[in-house]
Structure formats: C-alpha cells, structure tokens
C-alpha cells in the first residue's frame, strides 16, 4: 500500500535541516554525462541522507546539467524516493496479497498505536519511520515486516510491537 511521500512545499517557518553536500559531488562526478543517469544520481543521494534534500536537487541540476523539473518528475514517480528526512529505523510492513490475506492490517494498526504515528510518518524522537510497502517477497512467512535489512516473519500485532520495543531498549543503552 503505497503512501503519498511527497510534500511539495516546505511548510512556512519549517526550514529543512542543512545537510553536508560534499559527498554529493562525488556521485555527480561518477554519473555526469552518462546516459540514463537520473535514477542512479537520486539513488546515490538518497543512500547518503536517507532522503533527497532540497539543496541536493539544486546542486545535481546545476552541476550535472539536468533540468530541475526532470529530476523532480522522476523523484516523485518512484516509490523509493523520499523528499523528507526519515527516522533511524525504517519499519516496512508488507501489504502484499499473502500478507493481506494473513491479516497484515492488524500488524500495521498495532504498530501505529505503539509508535503513535500514522503510516508514512516518523516518530518525534526520530527513531522510527513507519511505512506500508507492497510485496517484500517473503510470502511464505506472511505477515512480514522489514526493519533495516532484517526481515521478521509470521507476525501478529503483539509480536511486531515487541520487536519495536526491543529496538527501543537497545537504543536507550
């Protein structure tokens, strides 16, 4: 269940935090002038920050010579790209067919309640971002969620919340 991740305008008074863009230059050098480079440029930038900062768009556009509207068009087309900062841990709850049939909704509802955020939002402490995604490809373990590179299967609302609690405990120590 893809969600709208795009907030076209930065709300008034809410300045995006300044990111250090020096590493973006290396990515631009790597892909500059190559055909079909828009997606790798954006993917590389997102790998650095977890999202694509506004200034990075402008920098890529100016230095790689790609119109800003083209960059923005591609970034908003694909589900992968984010235009807002994300939490330290991204919790991806699978809503593929197999997971839906095995009640993935209960997992999402329990996590929303435990984290106090809605789908697509980040907790105020910046630890977790909750996302619904289409299939993660682990259908035989449905319902499934992925945190970082770890996949957890055969979940219930309760067990999913326990996993979150464990991560929270680790973060505190």
Partner 1 sequence: MKQTQVLVGLASCGIAAGAQKVYNKMSGLKEADKLPFELKRTGCIGMCYREPLVEVIDSTGSFLYGEIDENKAVEIIEKHVKQGEPVKEYLILSDLFKTSDNEYVDGQIKVALRNCGVIDPESIEEYQARGGYKAIAKLVKDNVSQEDVIQTIIDSGLRGRGGGGFSTGMKWKFAYSSKSESKYIICNADEGDPGAFMDRSVLEGDPHAVLEGMTIAAYAIGATEGVIYCRAEYPLAIKRLNIAIDQAREKGYLGKNIHGKSGFNFDMYIKEGAGAFVCGEETALMASVEGKRGMPRKRPPFPAVSGLWKKPTNINNVETFANVPYIILNGAGSFNCYGTEKSKGTKVFALTGKIARGGLVEVPMGMTIRDVIFKLGGGIQGNKKFKAVQLGGPSGGCIPEYLADTPIDYDSVTATGAIMGSGGMVVMDETTCMVDLARFFLDFTQKESCGKCTFCRIGTKRMLEILTRICEGEGKQGDIELLEELAYHIKNTSLCGLGQTAPNPVLTTIKYFRNEYEAHINNRKCPAAKCTKLLTYTIIPEKCTGCMVCAKNCSVNAITGERKQPHVIDQSKCIKCGVCYNKCKFEAISLT
What residues line the site for partner 1 (CB under 8 A)? 1-2, 35-40, 42-43, 73-74, 77-81, 95-102, 106, 109, 133-142, 144, 149-153, 157
Nearest to 5 by CA among 107, 105, 131: 131
Least Cβ distance, residue 26 to partner 1 (angstroms)? 19
The rounded distance, in Å, linking the Cα atoms of 132 and 47 is 20
Nearer to partner 1, 113 or 125 (CB): 113
Closer by beta carbon to partner 1, 41 or else 130: 41
Residue 41's contacts (CB-CB under 8 Å, 6 or more residues apart) are: 27, 28, 31, 60, 64, 66, 71
Q: Count the neighbouring beta carbons within 10 Å of the beta carbon of residue 74.
A: 15
Which residue, 23 or 151, has its beta carbon nearer to partner 1? 151
Least distance (Å) from partner 1 to the CB of residue 117? 18
Omega before 143 cis (within 30°)? yes
Distance in Å, CB of 110 to partner 1, minimum: 8
Q: Least distance to partner 1 from the beta carbon of 135, Å?
A: 4
User: Which residues, listed in sequence order, are joined to residue 152 by a DSSP beta bridge?
Assistant: 145
| Separation of alpha carbons 25 and 120, rounded Å | 29
Nearer to partner 1, 21 or 106 (CB): 106
């Amino acid at each position: 269940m893809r969600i709208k991740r795009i907030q076209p305008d930065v709300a008034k008074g809410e300045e995006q935090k300044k990111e250090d863009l020096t590493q973006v230059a290396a990515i631009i050098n790597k892909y500059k002038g190559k055909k079909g480079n828009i997606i790798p440029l954006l993917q590389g930038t997102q790998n650095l920050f977890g999202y694509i900062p506004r200034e990075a768009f402008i920098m890529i556009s100016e230095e790689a010579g790609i119109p800003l509207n083209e960059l923005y068009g591609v970034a908003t087309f694909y589900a992968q790209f984010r235009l807002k900062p994300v939490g330290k841990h991204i919790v991806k709850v699978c809503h593929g067919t197999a997971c839906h049939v095995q009640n993935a909704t209960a997992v999402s509802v329990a996590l929303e309640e435990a984290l106090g955020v809605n789908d697509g939002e980040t907790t105020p402490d910046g630890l977790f971002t909750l996302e619904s995604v289409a299939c993660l490809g682990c259908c035989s373990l449905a319902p499934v969620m992925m945190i970082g590179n770890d996949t957890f299967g055969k979940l219930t609302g309760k067990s999913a919340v326990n996993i979150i609690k464990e991560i929270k405990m680790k973060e505190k120590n």
